């Protein structure tokens, strides 16, 4: 959740939606650890599903091309590399970036929670 620190003061459409939702649960405006972890895990799940779908997209197309000689792309290199590969590969890169960021955020939150837990135990 990259933008959680600015949502309280955001005046754009998503900021207003975020604040409207926070009327029912104020933790969404306070960068609450539970909300950060929960929403980050949600992003991970969506990213993983998208990466799975893209893998199937490429794998089944390659299989059909080689096993059944049924290509789904024009044979010219431009169409293959720019349209088929390039335009679809973006949808692997973007979710992978979000997946990485989410894993970092979860790790940070877990370390912070562990520190708090240890400090409470030592008191």
Stated pTM of the model: 0.60
Six token digits for residue 26? 């104020």
The tens digit of pLDDT for each residue in 80-103 reads 888 888 888 888 898 889 889 888
The tens digit of pLDDT for each residue in 3-45 reads 667 777 889 998 888 888 888 888 888 878 888 888 888 888 9
Six token digits for residue 88? 């679809």
CB 99 within 8 A of CB 92: no
CA distances from 74 to 19, 22, 57, 64, 99 (A): 48, 49, 16, 14, 32
CA distances from 8 to 32, 42, 71 (A): 13, 21, 50
């Amino acid at each position: 959740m990259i933008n959680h620190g600015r949502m309280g003061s955001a005046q754009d459409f998503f900021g207003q939606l975020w604040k409207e939702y926070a009327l029912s649960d104020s933790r969404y405006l306070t960068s609450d650890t539970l909300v950060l972890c929960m929403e980050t895990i949600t992003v991970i799940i969506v990213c993983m599903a998208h990466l799975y779908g893209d893998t199937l997209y490429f794998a089944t197309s390659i299989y059909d091309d080689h096993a059944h000689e049924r290509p789904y792309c024009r044979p010219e290199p431009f169409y293959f590399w720019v349209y088929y590969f390039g335009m679809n590969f973006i949808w692997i890169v973007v979710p992978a970036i979000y997946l990485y960021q989410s894993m970092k955020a979860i790790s940070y939150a877990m370390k912070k929670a562990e520190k708090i837990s240890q400090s409470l135990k030592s008191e």
